[in-house]
Amino acid sequence: MKDYSEKRDFHRMQVNSEIEITDSQGNRFTGVCRDLSAAGMQLYVEREVAVGEELQTVLHPSSDQFPPLETVCEVIRCEPEGDGFLLGTNISEVTR
């Protein structure tokens, strides 16, 4: 029997990089992308975001060798953490 960590379809990569976010009303803010997988991201932000909200994100690479990762994702979880909120998102589209 597989342990819990092996039940995921995609492995998570620890990132901890600043990410640019635009909500469905056009409001722009920044957060920290804590981890990334082929199916979703975990983001830390300073304000609450509604579950079901569609976000556009731009994650810039740490070097110029790779282009930015641009996605459309849906918030599936928003939990208070410290002075902000931890978002669980599903990536619905990679736009670049």
Where do the domains of the chain lie?
Answer: 13-94
Q: Using DSSP, state whether 24 is helix, strand or coil.
A: coil
Instruction: Determine contact, residues 90/53, Cβ cutoff 8 Å.
Output: no
Please, which residues have CB within 8 angstroms of residue 26's CB and are 6 or more apart in sequence? none
Residue with tokens 């983001």: 43
pLDDT beneath 70: ranges in the chain: 1-10
Alpha-carbon distance of 87 to 49, in angstroms, equals 8
pTM for this entry? 0.85
Please, which residues have CB within 8 angstroms of residue 25's CB and are 6 or more apart in sequence? none
In one-letter notation, the amino acid at residue 81 is E
User: Which of the following CATH numbers is that of domain 13-94: 3.30.200.20, 2.40.10.220, 3.30.70.1450, 2.40.50.140?
Assistant: 2.40.10.220
pLDDT of residue 54: 98
Q: Using DSSP, state whether 6 is helix, strand or coil.
A: helix
pLDDT digits (tens, 9 = 90+) for 63-85: 788 899 999 999 999 999 999 99
